[in-house]
Amino acid sequence: MGCSGTACAVTETIPSDTATLDSLAPRTQAEILSVNWSVLAPDEAKRLRALGLDVGTQVAVAHRGVFFGRDPIALVIGRTTVAVRRTHAKAVLVKPL
Protein backbone atom coordinates (compact mmCIF):
# COMPACT_ATOMS: atom_id res chain seq x y z
CA MET A 1 0.00 0.00 0.00
CA GLY A 2 2.97 2.23 0.50
CA CYS A 3 1.65 3.75 3.70
CA SER A 4 4.06 3.99 6.55
CA GLY A 5 3.41 5.22 10.05
CA THR A 6 4.81 8.59 10.91
CA ALA A 7 7.71 8.41 13.32
CA CYS A 8 7.53 10.71 16.29
CA ALA A 9 10.35 12.81 17.62
CA VAL A 10 10.90 12.80 21.35
CA THR A 11 9.89 16.02 23.00
CA GLU A 12 12.90 17.93 24.27
CA THR A 13 11.37 19.37 27.40
CA ILE A 14 9.77 16.90 29.78
CA PRO A 15 6.91 18.44 31.78
CA SER A 16 6.94 17.68 35.49
CA ASP A 17 3.62 15.80 35.65
CA THR A 18 4.82 13.14 33.18
CA ALA A 19 6.48 9.80 33.75
CA THR A 20 7.93 6.99 31.72
CA LEU A 21 5.49 4.11 31.33
CA ASP A 22 7.65 1.68 33.32
CA SER A 23 7.36 3.85 36.42
CA LEU A 24 3.60 4.35 36.18
CA ALA A 25 1.71 3.08 39.23
CA PRO A 26 -0.51 0.04 38.53
CA ARG A 27 -4.12 0.70 37.54
CA THR A 28 -3.55 4.40 36.80
CA GLN A 29 -4.96 5.59 33.48
CA ALA A 30 -2.47 7.62 31.50
CA GLU A 31 -2.18 9.11 28.03
CA ILE A 32 0.85 8.51 25.83
CA LEU A 33 2.63 11.78 25.05
CA SER A 34 5.53 10.49 23.03
CA VAL A 35 7.35 7.30 22.11
CA ASN A 36 11.07 7.14 21.45
CA TRP A 37 10.80 4.71 18.58
CA SER A 38 14.55 4.77 17.95
CA VAL A 39 15.13 2.68 21.10
CA LEU A 40 13.04 -0.14 19.64
CA ALA A 41 13.95 -2.56 16.88
CA PRO A 42 11.96 -1.67 13.71
CA ASP A 43 9.84 -4.82 13.93
CA GLU A 44 9.13 -4.26 17.61
CA ALA A 45 8.08 -0.68 16.92
CA LYS A 46 5.73 -1.93 14.19
CA ARG A 47 4.29 -4.58 16.46
CA LEU A 48 3.68 -2.15 19.33
CA ARG A 49 2.02 0.33 17.00
CA ALA A 50 -0.14 -2.39 15.54
CA LEU A 51 -1.18 -3.37 19.06
CA GLY A 52 -2.36 0.19 19.59
CA LEU A 53 0.55 1.62 21.55
CA ASP A 54 1.02 5.04 19.97
CA VAL A 55 0.85 8.73 20.78
CA GLY A 56 -2.57 9.73 22.10
CA THR A 57 -3.56 6.25 23.30
CA GLN A 58 -4.76 5.67 26.86
CA VAL A 59 -2.90 2.99 28.76
CA ALA A 60 -2.74 1.53 32.24
CA VAL A 61 -0.33 -0.92 33.84
CA ALA A 62 -2.29 -4.02 34.86
CA HIS A 63 0.41 -6.32 36.15
CA ARG A 64 4.09 -6.23 36.79
CA GLY A 65 6.21 -9.28 36.19
CA VAL A 66 7.44 -11.76 38.66
CA PHE A 67 10.88 -12.50 40.10
CA PHE A 68 13.46 -9.76 40.25
CA GLY A 69 13.18 -6.60 38.23
CA ARG A 70 9.40 -6.97 38.03
CA ASP A 71 9.71 -7.54 34.31
CA PRO A 72 7.78 -7.79 31.94
CA ILE A 73 4.81 -5.45 32.34
CA ALA A 74 1.23 -6.14 31.25
CA LEU A 75 -0.41 -3.06 29.76
CA VAL A 76 -4.10 -2.50 29.20
CA ILE A 77 -4.68 -0.70 25.91
CA GLY A 78 -8.36 -0.30 25.18
CA ARG A 79 -9.77 -3.80 25.54
CA THR A 80 -6.53 -5.69 25.04
CA THR A 81 -3.80 -6.67 27.44
CA VAL A 82 -0.31 -6.54 26.00
CA ALA A 83 2.92 -7.73 27.61
CA VAL A 84 6.03 -5.66 27.00
CA ARG A 85 9.49 -5.54 28.53
CA ARG A 86 10.46 -2.70 30.81
CA THR A 87 13.03 -1.49 28.29
CA HIS A 88 10.14 -0.88 25.86
CA ALA A 89 8.04 0.85 28.51
CA LYS A 90 10.95 3.15 29.36
CA ALA A 91 10.80 4.57 25.83
CA VAL A 92 7.19 5.67 26.36
CA LEU A 93 6.42 8.99 28.01
CA VAL A 94 2.96 9.24 29.60
CA LYS A 95 0.85 11.76 31.45
CA PRO A 96 -1.29 10.28 34.26
CA LEU A 97 -4.92 11.32 33.88
Residues in touch with other proteins (CB under 8 A): 1-6, 40-41, 43-44, 46-52, 54-57, 62-72, 74, 77-85, 87-88
Distance (Å, rounded) from C-alpha 11 to C-alpha 39?
14
Q: Least distance in Å: CB of 73 to other proteins?
A: 10
Give me the least distance between CB of 31 and other proteins, in Å please: 13
Residue 16 vs 80, nearer CB to other proteins: 80
Smallest distance from other proteins to CB 18, Å? 19
For residues 71 and 69, what is the distance between their CA atoms, to the nearest angstrom? 5
Q: Residue 39 CB: number of other CB atoms within 10 A?
A: 14
Within 10 A of 35 (CB to CB), how many other CB atoms are there? 24
Residue 31 CA to residue 91 CA, distance in Å, equals: 14
Nearer to other proteins, 16 or 67 (CB): 67
